[in-house]
Chains A and B, each alone.
Chain A
Amino acid sequence: QSVLTQPPSASGTPGQRVTISCSGSSSNIGSHYVYWYHQLPGTAPKLLIYKNNQRPSGVPDRFSGSKSGTSASLAISGLRSEDEANYYCLVWDDSLSGRVFGGGTKLTVL
């Protein structure tokens, strides 16, 4: 059971906008940067968002991140079939003195 709570699943149709939430506390999201990864089965994770809302070079602007208080969100607009993957948030936690991943959200493109 992670200290970061993500919905286990999310879905949308092509072209839609979907959001994935990551809920934490003052010891993690409330005081540290949030990172977002996605992972296709059998492959290494790929970074989508760093420092709450920054996109690495090469990540489409369809992906955006935000943070408010002790919660963060990843938004994907113009949903595509290739966005079907597992999505994870990652934050440092002061209580654990380490980084922690959310439990992951499986995104299905209908």
Chain B
Amino acid sequence: EVQLVESGGGLVQPGGSLRLSCAASGFTFSSVYMRWVRQAPGKGLEWVGRIKSKADGETIDYAVPVKARFTISRDDSKNTLYLQMNDLKTEDTAMYYCTTSLWSGEILKVDQWGQGTLVTVSS
């Protein structure tokens, strides 16, 4: 069974840091691209960033609002995705989801999301 489990969320003061983790199981983690998506309370979905597989250079792309403050990384030996968040702002308050897509050629077999972890930035 494909599964993604996020952890690490919590309450942090503005300017603080937090590291989120996403533990993956049920698929070959090292072969897939991984993404972070967030959703502020009562708001729409916002794409945060993506990290490609090592075979594709582990290239990372970020959304403009988080660039230079957030860092996405992966540890394929631990089947884990990370999101290091620095200089947090109140507008970063959101549910953070990790997500991935599993393909068989051109056919999408699974689009998997975790249950999310809540980050609250407040003084």
Seen from chain A, the residues whose Cβ lies within 8 Å of a Cβ on chain B are 2, 37, 39, 44-47, 50-51, 54, 56-57, 86, 88, 90, 96-104
CB within 8 Å of A: which B34-84 residues: 35, 37, 44-47, 49-50, 61-64
B62 lies within 8 A of A98 (CB): yes
Across the A-B interface, give the 9 residue pairs with the lowest CB-CB distance, nearest first: A44-B113, A47-B111, A104-B44, A99-B47, A101-B45, A98-B61, A50-B108, A98-B63, A88-B45
**CB of B17 within 8 A of chain A?**
no
Determine which of B44, B50, B97, B114 lies in contact with A99 in the assembled complex, contact meaning CB atoms within 8 Å. Answer: B50
Residues of A within 8 A of B47 (CB): 90, 98-101
Question: In the complex, A45→B97 CA distance in Å?
Answer: 10
A-B contact count (CB 8 A): 57
Residues of B within 8 A of A98 (CB): 47, 49-50, 61-64
Nearest to B48 among chain A residues (CB) is A98
B44 lies within 8 A of A88 (CB): yes
Determine which of A37, A54, A57 lies in contact with B45 in the assembled complex, contact meaning CB atoms within 8 Å. Answer: A37
Given known pairs A56-B108, A96-B63, the reply for A44 and B44 (CB within 8 Å) is: no
Question: In the complex, A109→B101 CA distance in Å?
Answer: 30
Determine which of A39, A44, A99 lies in contact with B115 in the assembled complex, contact meaning CB atoms within 8 Å. Answer: A44
Given known pairs A86-B44, A101-B44, the reply for A57 and B109 (CB within 8 Å) is: yes
Residues of A within 8 A of B35 (CB): 99
Given known pairs A88-B44, A98-B49, A99-B47, the reply for A45 and B113 (CB within 8 Å) is: yes
